[in-house]
């Protein structure tokens, strides 16, 4: 049996930075499960869970070892359920590390068999977040360099300046 890892996130919406982490993970591990998680500290979001799953699936069709799922419980429980040995998290800056480090320690306590792997964002994506994409789009800016081409029009249609 090969190594299965999880790339969790809210992906509201998926950015090219997210996709970069997913692609790099798929090159390193046998199976990557991209799981759309419900983030209790964030509001309901701009896109439904189903739309986010659809976006990710459309953007990962060329990655046969990637599957997409959703989960509303604890990440530590999901990893155990799926037999995943690790969680891969992208880090953009030191500010990300503080939150991710605390989450990793919590997950380690809840599921000692699960490791957390931090993958540093590619330099060209370090500034990018779903929040940046939403703000730029809502204010009428061009997001074509921020999101995968497969879903750019969907995002513009939902969030673009009317």
Q: Which residue has the higher pLDDT, 153 or 160?
A: 153
Half-sphere exposure of 135 (CA within 13 A, CB side): 5
Predicted local distance difference test score (pLDDT) of residue 40: 66
Report, as an integer, the average pLDDT of 145-152: 96
This prediction's pTM: 0.93
Predicted local distance difference test score (pLDDT) of residue 42: 59
Which residue(s) pair with 69 in the sheet?
A: 35
Residue 81: exposure state from Cβ atoms within 10 A (0-12, 13-18, ≥19): exposed
**Residues noted as catalytic:** 18, 42, 92, 130
- To the nearest 10°, the Cα dihedral for 107, 111, 112, 117? -50
Q: How far apart are CA 70 and CA 105, in angstroms?
A: 22
Q: Which residue has the higher pLDDT, 124 or 23?
A: 23
């Amino acid at each position: 049996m090969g190594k299965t890892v999880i790339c969790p996130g809210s992906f509201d919406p998926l950015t090219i930075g997210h996709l970069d982490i997913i692609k790099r993970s798929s090159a390193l591990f046998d199976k990557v499960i991209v799981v759309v998680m419900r983030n209790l500290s964030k509001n309901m979001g701009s896109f439904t869970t189903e739309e986010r799953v659809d976006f990710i699936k459309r953007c990962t069709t060329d990655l046969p070892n990637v599957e997409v799922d959703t989960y509303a419980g604890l990440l530590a429980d999901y990893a155990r359920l799926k037999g995943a040995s690790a969680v891969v998290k992208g880090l953009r800056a030191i500010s990300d590390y503080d939150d991710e480090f605390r989450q990793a320690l919590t997950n380690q306590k809840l599921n000692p068999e699960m490791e957390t792997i931090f993958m540093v964002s590619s330099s060209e994506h370090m500034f990018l977040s779903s929040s940046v994409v939403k703000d730029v789009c809502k204010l009428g800016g061009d997001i074509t360099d921020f999101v995968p081409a497969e879903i750019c029009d969907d995002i513009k249609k939902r969030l673009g300046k009317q």
